[in-house]
Protein backbone atom coordinates (compact mmCIF):
# COMPACT_ATOMS: atom_id res chain seq x y z
CA UNK A 1 0.00 0.00 0.00
CA UNK A 2 2.89 2.30 0.79
CA UNK A 3 4.37 1.68 -2.69
CA UNK A 4 1.12 2.62 -4.43
CA UNK A 5 0.75 5.78 -2.30
CA UNK A 6 4.31 6.85 -3.14
CA UNK A 7 3.72 6.10 -6.81
CA UNK A 8 0.65 8.36 -7.00
CA UNK A 9 2.45 11.08 -5.05
CA UNK A 10 5.26 10.96 -7.61
CA UNK A 11 2.78 11.34 -10.47
CA UNK A 12 1.03 14.32 -8.80
CA UNK A 13 4.40 15.94 -8.06
CA UNK A 14 5.53 15.41 -11.66
CA UNK A 15 2.51 17.06 -13.27
CA UNK A 16 2.59 19.93 -10.76
CA UNK A 17 6.18 20.60 -11.84
CA UNK A 18 5.11 20.56 -15.48
CA UNK A 19 2.44 23.22 -14.92
CA UNK A 20 4.84 25.36 -12.92
CA UNK A 21 7.92 25.07 -15.15
CA UNK A 22 6.00 25.39 -18.40
CA UNK A 23 5.48 29.06 -17.69
CA UNK A 24 8.55 29.84 -15.57
CA UNK A 25 11.39 28.00 -17.30
CA UNK A 26 11.85 30.06 -20.50
CA UNK A 27 12.74 33.30 -18.67
CA UNK A 28 15.06 31.45 -16.34
CA UNK A 29 16.85 29.69 -19.16
CA UNK A 30 17.20 32.91 -21.13
CA UNK A 31 18.68 34.68 -18.15
CA UNK A 32 21.11 31.89 -17.36
CA UNK A 33 22.40 31.68 -20.92
CA UNK A 34 23.09 35.39 -21.01
CA UNK A 35 24.94 35.17 -17.71
CA UNK A 36 27.12 32.34 -18.97
CA UNK A 37 27.94 34.09 -22.19
CA UNK A 38 28.75 37.39 -20.51
CA UNK A 39 30.80 36.14 -17.57
CA UNK A 40 33.02 33.72 -19.46
CA UNK A 41 33.35 35.77 -22.64
CA UNK A 42 32.44 32.82 -24.86
CA UNK A 43 32.78 33.29 -28.59
CA UNK A 44 29.88 31.79 -30.48
CA UNK A 45 30.56 30.60 -34.01
CA UNK A 46 28.25 29.26 -36.69
CA UNK A 47 30.40 27.25 -39.12
CA UNK A 48 28.84 26.45 -42.45
CA UNK A 49 30.13 22.90 -42.21
CA UNK A 50 30.92 21.32 -38.86
CA UNK A 51 33.50 18.98 -40.30
CA UNK A 52 35.65 21.75 -41.77
CA UNK A 53 39.16 22.54 -40.62
CA UNK A 54 37.83 25.84 -39.32
CA UNK A 55 36.51 24.02 -36.27
CA UNK A 56 39.54 22.01 -35.21
CA UNK A 57 43.06 22.74 -36.36
CA UNK A 58 45.13 19.58 -36.81
CA UNK A 59 48.30 21.13 -35.44
CA UNK A 60 46.85 21.57 -31.95
CA UNK A 61 44.70 18.49 -31.49
CA UNK A 62 46.63 17.27 -28.44
CA UNK A 63 46.06 20.59 -26.66
CA UNK A 64 42.33 20.70 -27.31
CA UNK A 65 39.65 19.59 -24.91
CA UNK A 66 36.20 19.17 -26.42
CA UNK A 67 32.94 19.50 -24.52
CA UNK A 68 29.98 18.66 -26.73
CA UNK A 69 26.26 18.07 -26.48
CA UNK A 70 25.71 14.43 -27.50
CA UNK A 71 22.34 14.79 -29.21
CA UNK A 72 23.05 18.07 -30.99
CA UNK A 73 26.62 17.25 -32.07
CA UNK A 74 26.43 13.60 -33.08
CA UNK A 75 22.85 12.68 -33.95
CA UNK A 76 21.33 13.65 -37.28
CA UNK A 77 17.76 13.47 -35.99
CA UNK A 78 16.47 15.92 -33.40
CA UNK A 79 13.61 13.65 -32.29
CA UNK A 80 14.22 11.66 -29.11
CA UNK A 81 10.94 9.77 -29.39
CA UNK A 82 12.45 6.58 -30.94
CA UNK A 83 14.82 6.06 -28.01
CA UNK A 84 12.12 6.46 -25.39
CA UNK A 85 9.87 4.17 -27.42
CA UNK A 86 12.62 1.54 -27.30
CA UNK A 87 12.78 1.89 -23.51
CA UNK A 88 9.00 1.69 -23.21
CA UNK A 89 8.72 -1.34 -25.52
CA UNK A 90 11.82 -3.33 -24.52
CA UNK A 91 12.09 -2.53 -20.80
CA UNK A 92 8.39 -1.93 -20.19
CA UNK A 93 5.55 -3.57 -22.06
CA UNK A 94 3.38 -3.33 -25.14
CA UNK A 95 0.81 -1.28 -23.23
CA UNK A 96 3.45 1.20 -22.04
CA UNK A 97 4.66 1.64 -25.62
CA UNK A 98 1.10 2.19 -26.81
CA UNK A 99 0.54 4.78 -24.07
CA UNK A 100 3.65 6.69 -25.16
CA UNK A 101 2.47 6.66 -28.77
CA UNK A 102 -1.01 7.92 -27.83
CA UNK A 103 0.40 10.69 -25.63
CA UNK A 104 3.04 11.83 -28.12
CA UNK A 105 0.82 14.40 -29.96
CA UNK A 106 -0.01 15.89 -26.56
CA UNK A 107 3.69 15.88 -25.59
CA UNK A 108 4.55 17.83 -28.75
CA UNK A 109 2.35 20.71 -27.53
CA UNK A 110 4.80 21.45 -24.70
CA UNK A 111 8.31 22.83 -24.86
CA UNK A 112 11.19 20.53 -25.72
CA UNK A 113 12.31 20.31 -22.12
CA UNK A 114 8.84 19.54 -20.80
CA UNK A 115 8.24 17.01 -23.53
CA UNK A 116 11.46 15.27 -22.55
CA UNK A 117 10.37 15.06 -18.92
CA UNK A 118 7.00 13.64 -19.90
CA UNK A 119 8.58 10.95 -22.07
CA UNK A 120 10.92 10.07 -19.20
CA UNK A 121 7.92 9.69 -16.88
CA UNK A 122 5.99 7.43 -19.27
CA UNK A 123 8.98 5.31 -20.26
CA UNK A 124 10.77 4.85 -16.91
CA UNK A 125 8.17 5.06 -14.15
CA UNK A 126 8.01 1.66 -12.44
CA UNK A 127 11.01 0.13 -14.28
CA UNK A 128 13.36 -1.81 -12.02
CA UNK A 129 16.80 -0.21 -11.89
CA UNK A 130 18.85 -3.40 -11.46
CA UNK A 131 17.14 -5.13 -14.38
CA UNK A 132 17.55 -2.23 -16.82
CA UNK A 133 19.80 -3.47 -19.65
CA UNK A 134 18.27 -1.54 -22.56
CA UNK A 135 20.94 1.17 -22.27
CA UNK A 136 23.79 -1.21 -23.09
CA UNK A 137 21.98 -3.98 -25.03
CA UNK A 138 19.45 -2.18 -27.27
CA UNK A 139 19.99 1.57 -27.58
CA UNK A 140 23.62 1.66 -28.85
CA UNK A 141 22.61 0.11 -32.19
CA UNK A 142 19.95 2.75 -32.88
CA UNK A 143 22.16 5.60 -31.63
CA UNK A 144 25.01 4.50 -33.91
CA UNK A 145 22.71 4.31 -36.92
CA UNK A 146 21.75 7.95 -36.32
CA UNK A 147 25.29 9.30 -35.86
CA UNK A 148 26.40 11.78 -38.51
CA UNK A 149 29.78 11.17 -40.13
CA UNK A 150 30.68 14.87 -40.07
CA UNK A 151 29.94 15.32 -36.38
CA UNK A 152 31.75 12.10 -35.47
CA UNK A 153 34.91 13.13 -37.36
CA UNK A 154 35.08 16.36 -35.38
CA UNK A 155 34.63 14.64 -32.03
CA UNK A 156 37.27 11.97 -32.64
CA UNK A 157 39.95 14.57 -33.50
CA UNK A 158 40.31 15.75 -29.92
CA UNK A 159 42.45 13.84 -27.46
CA UNK A 160 40.27 14.77 -24.48
CA UNK A 161 36.53 14.85 -24.96
CA UNK A 162 33.47 14.94 -22.76
CA UNK A 163 29.85 14.53 -23.76
CA UNK A 164 26.95 16.17 -21.97
CA UNK A 165 23.44 14.98 -22.61
CA UNK A 166 19.89 16.03 -21.88
CA UNK A 167 18.87 12.37 -21.79
CA UNK A 168 19.07 10.12 -18.73
CA UNK A 169 22.58 8.88 -18.05
CA UNK A 170 21.53 5.21 -18.25
CA UNK A 171 20.42 5.72 -21.86
CA UNK A 172 23.58 7.27 -23.32
CA UNK A 173 26.53 6.10 -21.20
CA UNK A 174 27.20 2.78 -22.96
CA UNK A 175 26.75 4.26 -26.44
CA UNK A 176 29.11 7.22 -25.88
CA UNK A 177 31.81 5.61 -23.76
CA UNK A 178 31.99 2.06 -25.13
CA UNK A 179 31.26 2.58 -28.82
CA UNK A 180 32.50 6.12 -29.48
CA UNK A 181 35.42 6.00 -27.01
CA UNK A 182 34.55 9.29 -25.34
CA UNK A 183 36.33 9.81 -22.03
CA UNK A 184 33.30 10.81 -20.01
CA UNK A 185 29.61 11.51 -20.44
CA UNK A 186 27.35 13.45 -18.11
CA UNK A 187 23.61 12.87 -18.38
CA UNK A 188 20.56 13.36 -16.25
CA UNK A 189 20.28 11.14 -13.21
CA UNK A 190 16.95 9.39 -12.59
CA UNK A 191 15.38 9.31 -9.15
CA UNK A 192 14.95 5.85 -7.64
CA UNK A 193 12.60 4.61 -4.93
CA UNK A 194 12.87 1.07 -3.51
CA UNK A 195 14.96 0.00 -6.48
CA UNK A 196 12.52 1.34 -9.12
CA UNK A 197 12.73 4.42 -11.32
CA UNK A 198 9.94 6.87 -10.53
CA UNK A 199 10.20 8.74 -13.81
CA UNK A 200 11.75 11.97 -12.51
CA UNK A 201 15.16 13.43 -13.34
CA UNK A 202 17.48 15.07 -10.86
CA UNK A 203 19.13 18.40 -11.55
CA UNK A 204 22.78 17.41 -11.20
CA UNK A 205 24.22 20.59 -12.72
CA UNK A 206 24.92 22.03 -9.28
CA UNK A 207 27.17 19.08 -8.42
CA UNK A 208 29.62 19.70 -11.25
CA UNK A 209 30.30 23.40 -11.48
CA UNK A 210 34.07 23.86 -11.13
CA UNK A 211 37.19 23.08 -13.08
CA UNK A 212 38.35 20.48 -10.55
CA UNK A 213 35.36 18.32 -11.39
CA UNK A 214 36.21 18.64 -15.06
CA UNK A 215 39.84 17.65 -14.50
CA UNK A 216 38.78 14.72 -12.31
CA UNK A 217 36.42 13.35 -14.98
CA UNK A 218 38.79 13.78 -17.92
CA UNK A 219 41.83 12.55 -16.06
CA UNK A 220 45.17 14.27 -15.48
CA UNK A 221 46.08 17.08 -17.82
CA UNK A 222 46.23 20.83 -17.72
CA UNK A 223 42.65 21.65 -18.63
CA UNK A 224 43.17 25.33 -17.86
CA UNK A 225 46.19 25.57 -20.11
CA UNK A 226 44.57 23.74 -23.01
CA UNK A 227 42.16 25.13 -25.53
CA UNK A 228 38.70 24.13 -24.33
CA UNK A 229 36.09 24.35 -27.06
CA UNK A 230 32.45 23.36 -27.11
CA UNK A 231 29.89 22.19 -29.65
CA UNK A 232 26.18 22.44 -29.09
CA UNK A 233 23.02 23.10 -31.01
CA UNK A 234 21.14 25.85 -29.18
CA UNK A 235 21.98 28.53 -26.66
CA UNK A 236 19.55 26.89 -24.23
CA UNK A 237 21.75 23.80 -24.05
CA UNK A 238 24.70 25.95 -22.97
CA UNK A 239 23.28 26.19 -19.45
CA UNK A 240 25.29 23.11 -18.53
CA UNK A 241 28.07 24.25 -16.13
CA UNK A 242 30.91 22.71 -18.16
CA UNK A 243 30.27 25.03 -21.09
CA UNK A 244 31.50 27.90 -18.88
CA UNK A 245 35.08 26.73 -19.39
CA UNK A 246 34.89 26.86 -23.19
CA UNK A 247 36.76 29.66 -24.91
CA UNK A 248 34.88 29.04 -28.15
CA UNK A 249 31.54 27.37 -28.80
CA UNK A 250 30.30 26.22 -32.18
CA UNK A 251 26.58 25.88 -32.73
CA UNK A 252 25.00 23.40 -35.12
CA UNK A 253 21.54 23.76 -36.63
CA UNK A 254 18.91 21.59 -38.28
CA UNK A 255 19.75 22.77 -41.80
CA UNK A 256 23.37 21.79 -41.32
CA UNK A 257 22.54 18.37 -39.84
CA UNK A 258 20.22 17.48 -42.71
CA UNK A 259 23.29 17.47 -44.99
CA UNK A 260 25.23 15.04 -42.82
CA UNK A 261 25.91 11.50 -43.99
CA UNK A 262 25.25 8.44 -41.86
CA UNK A 263 28.32 7.01 -40.13
CA UNK A 264 29.28 3.77 -41.96
CA UNK A 265 29.49 0.70 -39.76
CA UNK A 266 33.10 0.10 -40.80
CA UNK A 267 33.99 3.49 -39.26
CA UNK A 268 32.69 2.56 -35.81
CA UNK A 269 35.55 2.85 -33.28
CA UNK A 270 34.28 -0.41 -31.78
CA UNK A 271 32.33 -2.87 -33.92
CA UNK A 272 28.73 -3.51 -32.92
CA UNK A 273 28.61 -7.32 -32.70
CA UNK A 274 25.96 -7.96 -30.07
CA UNK A 275 22.66 -6.22 -29.48
CA UNK A 276 19.30 -7.29 -28.09
CA UNK A 277 15.66 -6.28 -28.27
CA UNK A 278 12.71 -7.32 -30.39
CA UNK A 279 12.30 -4.27 -32.62
CA UNK A 280 14.20 -4.38 -35.91
CA UNK A 281 12.83 -1.08 -37.21
CA UNK A 282 13.59 2.40 -35.96
CA UNK A 283 10.46 3.27 -33.92
CA UNK A 284 9.66 6.73 -35.23
CA UNK A 285 6.08 7.91 -34.59
CA UNK A 286 4.90 6.84 -38.07
CA UNK A 287 6.68 3.46 -38.04
CA UNK A 288 5.44 2.76 -34.50
CA UNK A 289 1.89 3.54 -35.59
CA UNK A 290 2.30 1.16 -38.53
CA UNK A 291 3.67 -1.49 -36.15
CA UNK A 292 0.64 -1.33 -33.85
CA UNK A 293 -1.69 -1.43 -36.83
CA UNK A 294 0.09 -4.53 -38.15
CA UNK A 295 0.39 -6.27 -34.77
CA UNK A 296 -3.08 -7.95 -34.57
CA UNK A 297 -2.81 -9.25 -38.13
CA UNK A 298 0.83 -10.23 -37.55
CA UNK A 299 -0.06 -12.40 -34.55
CA UNK A 300 -2.75 -14.23 -36.53
CA UNK A 301 -0.39 -14.65 -39.47
CA UNK A 302 2.39 -16.04 -37.23
CA UNK A 303 0.01 -18.59 -35.70
CA UNK A 304 -1.24 -19.61 -39.15
CA UNK A 305 2.30 -20.04 -40.46
CA UNK A 306 3.26 -22.07 -37.40
CA UNK A 307 0.25 -24.38 -37.69
CA UNK A 308 1.00 -25.00 -41.38
CA UNK A 309 4.64 -25.86 -40.68
CA UNK A 310 3.75 -28.16 -37.76
CA UNK A 311 0.86 -30.09 -39.27
CA UNK A 312 1.36 -30.40 -43.03
CA UNK A 313 4.03 -32.33 -44.97
CA UNK A 314 6.87 -30.22 -46.34
CA UNK A 315 5.88 -30.58 -49.99
CA UNK A 316 2.44 -29.17 -49.16
CA UNK A 317 3.50 -26.64 -46.52
CA UNK A 318 6.25 -25.05 -48.65
CA UNK A 319 4.01 -23.41 -51.31
CA UNK A 320 1.52 -22.27 -48.66
CA UNK A 321 4.24 -20.65 -46.55
CA UNK A 322 5.66 -19.01 -49.66
CA UNK A 323 2.23 -17.59 -50.45
CA UNK A 324 2.07 -16.03 -46.95
CA UNK A 325 5.27 -14.07 -47.61
CA UNK A 326 8.08 -16.33 -46.33
CA UNK A 327 10.95 -16.51 -48.80
CA UNK A 328 13.53 -19.33 -48.83
CA UNK A 329 16.51 -18.94 -51.17
CA UNK A 330 18.73 -21.99 -51.64
CA UNK A 331 22.04 -22.34 -53.46
CA UNK A 332 24.70 -25.04 -53.56
CA UNK A 333 28.35 -25.11 -54.55
CA UNK A 334 28.32 -28.93 -54.46
CA UNK A 335 25.91 -31.29 -56.14
CA UNK A 336 25.67 -33.83 -53.33
CA UNK A 337 27.42 -33.54 -49.93
CA UNK A 338 27.36 -37.30 -49.46
CA UNK A 339 26.12 -40.01 -51.77
CA UNK A 340 23.33 -41.93 -50.13
CA UNK A 341 24.70 -45.40 -50.94
CA UNK A 342 23.08 -48.38 -49.29
CA UNK A 343 26.35 -49.45 -47.72
CA UNK A 344 26.84 -46.13 -45.97
CA UNK A 345 25.19 -46.40 -42.56
CA UNK A 346 26.10 -42.92 -41.38
CA UNK A 347 24.03 -39.87 -42.11
CA UNK A 348 25.31 -36.52 -43.31
CA UNK A 349 26.68 -34.03 -40.79
CA UNK A 350 25.65 -30.44 -41.59
CA UNK A 351 27.43 -27.59 -39.79
CA UNK A 352 25.83 -24.15 -40.05
CA UNK A 353 26.14 -20.75 -38.48
CA UNK A 354 23.34 -19.72 -36.15
CA UNK A 355 20.88 -16.90 -37.01
CA UNK A 356 17.63 -18.03 -35.31
CA UNK A 357 16.15 -21.12 -33.71
CA UNK A 358 14.58 -21.92 -37.08
CA UNK A 359 17.92 -22.61 -38.82
CA UNK A 360 17.58 -26.44 -38.75
CA UNK A 361 13.96 -26.22 -39.90
CA UNK A 362 14.77 -24.04 -42.92
CA UNK A 363 17.70 -26.31 -43.77
CA UNK A 364 15.31 -29.27 -43.63
CA UNK A 365 12.94 -27.46 -46.02
CA UNK A 366 15.83 -26.55 -48.33
CA UNK A 367 17.01 -30.18 -48.50
CA UNK A 368 13.45 -31.61 -48.54
CA UNK A 369 14.36 -34.26 -46.02
CA UNK A 370 14.06 -34.73 -42.23
CA UNK A 371 16.97 -33.77 -39.99
CA UNK A 372 17.92 -34.14 -36.35
CA UNK A 373 19.21 -30.99 -34.62
CA UNK A 374 21.43 -30.85 -31.55
CA UNK A 375 20.96 -27.69 -29.52
CA UNK A 376 22.28 -25.80 -26.52
CA UNK A 377 19.80 -24.60 -23.88
CA UNK A 378 16.69 -24.84 -26.03
CA UNK A 379 13.51 -24.04 -24.10
CA UNK A 380 11.16 -26.91 -23.34
CA UNK A 381 8.30 -25.25 -25.23
CA UNK A 382 10.44 -25.02 -28.37
CA UNK A 383 11.47 -28.66 -28.01
CA UNK A 384 7.86 -29.78 -27.77
CA UNK A 385 6.65 -27.71 -30.74
CA UNK A 386 9.65 -28.38 -33.02
CA UNK A 387 8.53 -30.17 -36.23
CA UNK A 388 11.93 -31.90 -36.45
CA UNK A 389 13.73 -34.01 -33.86
CA UNK A 390 15.84 -32.00 -31.40
CA UNK A 391 18.36 -33.31 -28.87
CA UNK A 392 19.79 -31.19 -26.07
CA UNK A 393 23.55 -31.24 -25.52
CA UNK A 394 24.94 -31.55 -21.99
CA UNK A 395 28.16 -29.50 -22.51
CA UNK A 396 30.16 -32.59 -21.48
CA UNK A 397 32.51 -33.30 -24.40
CA UNK A 398 32.64 -37.10 -24.10
CA UNK A 399 28.93 -37.51 -23.44
CA UNK A 400 27.94 -35.13 -26.25
CA UNK A 401 30.37 -36.81 -28.65
CA UNK A 402 28.87 -40.24 -28.01
CA UNK A 403 25.36 -38.82 -28.44
CA UNK A 404 26.17 -37.16 -31.76
CA UNK A 405 27.87 -40.37 -33.00
CA UNK A 406 24.71 -42.31 -32.20
CA UNK A 407 22.47 -39.74 -33.91
CA UNK A 408 24.64 -39.80 -37.05
CA UNK A 409 24.23 -43.54 -37.26
CA UNK A 410 20.47 -43.02 -37.24
CA UNK A 411 20.30 -40.30 -39.93
CA UNK A 412 21.31 -36.81 -41.01
CA UNK A 413 22.37 -34.42 -38.26
CA UNK A 414 22.67 -30.61 -38.12
CA UNK A 415 24.71 -28.71 -35.53
CA UNK A 416 25.29 -24.98 -34.91
CA UNK A 417 28.75 -24.87 -33.27
CA UNK A 418 28.51 -21.17 -32.41
CA UNK A 419 26.15 -22.18 -29.60
CA UNK A 420 24.12 -18.98 -29.86
CA UNK A 421 22.75 -16.60 -32.45
CA UNK A 422 24.44 -13.49 -33.81
CA UNK A 423 22.40 -10.84 -35.66
CA UNK A 424 25.23 -8.82 -37.15
CA UNK A 425 27.56 -9.99 -39.98
CA UNK A 426 29.97 -11.72 -37.59
CA UNK A 427 30.67 -15.37 -36.80
CA UNK A 428 31.38 -16.44 -33.23
CA UNK A 429 33.98 -19.06 -32.40
CA UNK A 430 33.03 -22.57 -33.54
CA UNK A 431 33.12 -25.32 -30.94
CA UNK A 432 35.39 -28.09 -32.35
CA UNK A 433 33.28 -31.03 -31.16
CA UNK A 434 31.82 -31.71 -34.62
CA UNK A 435 35.25 -32.04 -36.26
CA UNK A 436 35.73 -35.64 -35.03
CA UNK A 437 32.21 -36.85 -35.74
CA UNK A 438 32.45 -37.56 -39.47
CA UNK A 439 34.95 -37.49 -42.31
CA UNK A 440 32.67 -35.55 -44.66
CA UNK A 441 31.39 -32.35 -43.06
CA UNK A 442 28.97 -30.20 -45.05
CA UNK A 443 29.23 -26.49 -44.11
CA UNK A 444 26.01 -24.52 -44.53
CA UNK A 445 25.93 -20.72 -44.66
CA UNK A 446 22.71 -19.31 -43.21
CA UNK A 447 21.41 -15.76 -43.32
CA UNK A 448 18.02 -14.21 -42.63
CA UNK A 449 16.36 -10.84 -43.09
CA UNK A 450 13.54 -9.26 -41.08
CA UNK A 451 11.93 -5.82 -41.26
CA UNK A 452 9.90 -5.47 -38.07
CA UNK A 453 10.79 -7.99 -35.33
CA UNK A 454 13.93 -9.93 -34.45
CA UNK A 455 13.45 -13.65 -33.95
CA UNK A 456 16.15 -13.89 -31.28
CA UNK A 457 16.62 -12.62 -27.74
CA UNK A 458 19.20 -12.79 -24.97
CA UNK A 459 17.12 -11.54 -22.04
CA UNK A 460 13.51 -12.25 -23.10
CA UNK A 461 11.41 -15.38 -23.47
CA UNK A 462 13.15 -17.65 -25.98
CA UNK A 463 9.98 -19.67 -26.60
CA UNK A 464 8.55 -16.59 -28.34
CA UNK A 465 11.48 -16.27 -30.77
CA UNK A 466 9.83 -18.22 -33.63
CA UNK A 467 6.58 -16.29 -33.13
CA UNK A 468 8.31 -12.93 -33.46
CA UNK A 469 10.17 -14.09 -36.56
CA UNK A 470 6.95 -15.33 -38.18
CA UNK A 471 5.19 -12.04 -37.33
CA UNK A 472 7.31 -10.19 -39.89
CA UNK A 473 5.45 -9.32 -43.11
CA UNK A 474 8.05 -10.83 -45.46
CA UNK A 475 10.79 -12.72 -43.58
CA UNK A 476 13.43 -14.37 -45.71
CA UNK A 477 16.09 -17.06 -45.29
CA UNK A 478 19.14 -17.82 -47.42
CA UNK A 479 20.67 -21.30 -47.29
CA UNK A 480 23.99 -21.97 -49.07
CA UNK A 481 25.36 -25.53 -49.20
CA UNK A 482 29.16 -25.40 -49.44
CA UNK A 483 31.80 -27.93 -50.46
CA UNK A 484 32.38 -30.71 -47.96
CA UNK A 485 35.34 -30.56 -45.60
CA UNK A 486 37.39 -33.50 -44.31
CA UNK A 487 37.09 -33.81 -40.57
CA UNK A 488 37.65 -37.17 -38.89
CA UNK A 489 40.45 -38.43 -41.14
CA UNK A 490 42.51 -35.25 -40.86
CA UNK A 491 42.19 -35.33 -37.07
CA UNK A 492 43.17 -39.00 -36.88
CA UNK A 493 46.32 -38.66 -38.97
CA UNK A 494 47.14 -35.48 -37.01
CA UNK A 495 47.60 -33.38 -40.13
CA UNK A 496 45.15 -30.95 -38.53
CA UNK A 497 43.69 -30.63 -35.07
CA UNK A 498 39.98 -30.43 -34.40
CA UNK A 499 40.44 -26.72 -33.72
CA UNK A 500 41.99 -26.24 -37.16
CA UNK A 501 39.04 -28.01 -38.77
CA UNK A 502 36.55 -25.90 -36.82
CA UNK A 503 38.37 -22.68 -37.77
CA UNK A 504 38.50 -23.75 -41.41
CA UNK A 505 34.75 -24.38 -41.50
CA UNK A 506 34.17 -21.02 -39.82
CA UNK A 507 36.29 -19.26 -42.46
CA UNK A 508 34.50 -21.03 -45.33
CA UNK A 509 31.10 -19.94 -44.04
CA UNK A 510 32.35 -16.44 -43.29
CA UNK A 511 33.77 -15.95 -46.77
CA UNK A 512 30.57 -17.16 -48.46
CA UNK A 513 28.45 -14.74 -46.42
CA UNK A 514 31.03 -11.94 -46.29
CA UNK A 515 30.90 -12.18 -42.50
CA UNK A 516 33.83 -11.42 -40.20
CA UNK A 517 35.12 -14.28 -38.04
CA UNK A 518 35.68 -13.61 -34.33
CA UNK A 519 36.89 -15.51 -31.27
CA UNK A 520 33.92 -14.40 -29.16
CA UNK A 521 31.77 -17.09 -27.55
CA UNK A 522 28.27 -17.65 -26.27
CA UNK A 523 29.39 -16.63 -22.79
CA UNK A 524 30.71 -13.29 -24.09
CA UNK A 525 27.38 -12.50 -25.71
CA UNK A 526 25.25 -13.20 -22.66
CA UNK A 527 27.60 -11.44 -20.26
CA UNK A 528 27.36 -8.30 -22.41
CA UNK A 529 23.62 -8.38 -23.10
CA UNK A 530 22.04 -10.13 -20.12
CA UNK A 531 24.66 -10.32 -17.40
CA UNK A 532 24.60 -14.13 -17.22
CA UNK A 533 26.24 -17.12 -18.93
CA UNK A 534 23.21 -17.93 -21.05
CA UNK A 535 22.32 -21.30 -19.56
CA UNK A 536 18.58 -21.99 -19.74
Residues 246 and 384 reside in one and the same domain: no
CA angle 270–271–273, rounded 5-degree value: 135
DSSP letters spanning 154-201: HHHH-SEEEEEEEEEHHHHHHIIIIIS--SEEEEEEEEEETTEEEEEE
Q: Which residues contact 156 (CB under 8 A, 6 or more apart)?
A: 180, 181, 269
pTM of the model: 0.86
Is residue 273 one of the residues assigned to a domain?
no
Residues 221 and 334 reside in one and the same domain: no
Residues 300 and 238 reside in one and the same domain: no
Is residue 536 one of the residues assigned to a domain?
no
Compute the distance between CA of residue 436 and CA of residue 433 in angstroms, rounded to an integer: 7
Is residue 21 one of the residues assigned to a domain?
no
Neighbours of 301 (CB within 10 A): 17
Q: Which of 215, 232, 267 is the last residue of a domain?
A: 267
Residues 129 and 44 reside in one and the same domain: yes
Residues 217 and 352 reside in one and the same domain: no
Is residue 20 one of the residues assigned to a domain?
no
Domain count, the chain: 2
Compute the distance between CA of residue 85 and CA of residue 104 in angstroms, rounded to an integer: 10
Is residue 186 one of the residues assigned to a domain?
yes
* 523, burial (CB in 10 Å: exposed 0-12, middle 13-18, buried 19+): middle
Identify whether the C-beta of residue 411 lies closer than 8 Å to the C-beta of residue 370.
yes
Compute the distance between CA of residue 132 and CA of residue 124 in angstroms, rounded to an integer: 10
User: What integer pLDDT is reported at residue 251 of this predicted model?
Assistant: 85
Residues 53 and 195 reside in one and the same domain: yes
User: What integer pLDDT is reported at residue 321 of this predicted model?
Assistant: 95
Q: pLDDT (tens digit, 0 to 9) for every residue of the chain, 536 residues total?
A: 444 455 455 555 555 555 454 444 333 233 333 333 343 455 555 554 444 445 554 445 556 788 899 999 999 998 999 999 999 999 999 999 999 999 999 999 999 989 999 999 999 999 999 889 999 999 999 999 999 999 999 888 887 888 999 999 999 999 999 999 888 888 899 999 999 999 999 876 555 555 566 666 665 555 555 678 888 887 666 777 778 778 788 888 888 888 899 999 999 999 999 999 999 999 999 999 999 999 999 999 999 999 999 999 989 999 999 999 999 999 887 555 665 444 556 789 999 999 999 999 999 999 999 999 988 777 777 777 788 888 888 878 888 888 988 999 889 999 999 989 999 999 999 998 888 887 789 999 999 999 999 999 988 888 899 999 999 999 999 999 999 888 766 666 666 788 888 999 999 999 999 999 999 999 999 888 877 766 54
Is residue 279 one of the residues assigned to a domain?
no
User: What integer pLDDT is reported at residue 337 of this predicted model?
Assistant: 61
Identify whether the C-beta of residue 416 lies closer than 8 Å to the C-beta of residue 358.
no
Q: Strands, DSSP E only, in 379-472?
A: 389-392, 413-415, 426-427, 440-449
Is residue 1 one of the residues assigned to a domain?
no
Output the CA torsion 290→296→299→305 (10° steps). Answer: -90
Residues 254 and 299 reside in one and the same domain: no
DSSP letters spanning 73-102: HHBS----HHHHHHIIIIII-HHHHHHHHH
CATH of the domain at 256: 3.40.50
Is residue 122 one of the residues assigned to a domain?
yes
Compute the distance between CA of residue 389 and CA of residue 305 in angstroms, rounded to an integer: 19
Residues 108 and 184 reside in one and the same domain: yes
Residues 84 and 128 reside in one and the same domain: yes
Sign of the torsion angle spanned by Cα atoms 32, 35, 40, 46: positive
Residues 252 and 300 reside in one and the same domain: no
Distances (CA, A) of 290 to 85, 101, 277, 391: 14, 11, 18, 39
Residues 241 and 140 reside in one and the same domain: yes
User: What integer pLDDT is reported at residue 183 of this predicted model?
Assistant: 83
User: What integer pLDDT is reported at residue 29 of this predicted model?
Assistant: 30
* Domain assignment of residue 498, given as a range: 285-530
Q: Which of 203, 232, 267 is the last residue of a domain?
A: 267
Q: Which of 211, 238, 267 is the last residue of a domain?
A: 267
Residues 252 and 305 reside in one and the same domain: no
Amino acid sequence: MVKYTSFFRAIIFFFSRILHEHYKTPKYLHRKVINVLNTTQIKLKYPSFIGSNELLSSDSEDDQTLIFNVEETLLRSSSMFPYFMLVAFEAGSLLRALLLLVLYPFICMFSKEMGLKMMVMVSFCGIKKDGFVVGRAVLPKFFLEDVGLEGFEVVKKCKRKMGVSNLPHVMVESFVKEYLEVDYVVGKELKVYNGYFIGLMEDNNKKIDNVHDLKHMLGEGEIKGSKVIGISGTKASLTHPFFRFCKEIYLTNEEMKRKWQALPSENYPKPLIFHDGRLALRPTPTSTLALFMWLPFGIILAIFRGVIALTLPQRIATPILTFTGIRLLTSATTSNPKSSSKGDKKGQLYVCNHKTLLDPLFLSYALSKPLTAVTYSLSRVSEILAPIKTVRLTRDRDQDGNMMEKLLNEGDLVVCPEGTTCREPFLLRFSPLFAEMDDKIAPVAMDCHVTMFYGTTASGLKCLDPIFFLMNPRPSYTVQLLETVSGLSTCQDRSQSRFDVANHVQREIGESLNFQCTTLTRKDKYLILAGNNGVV
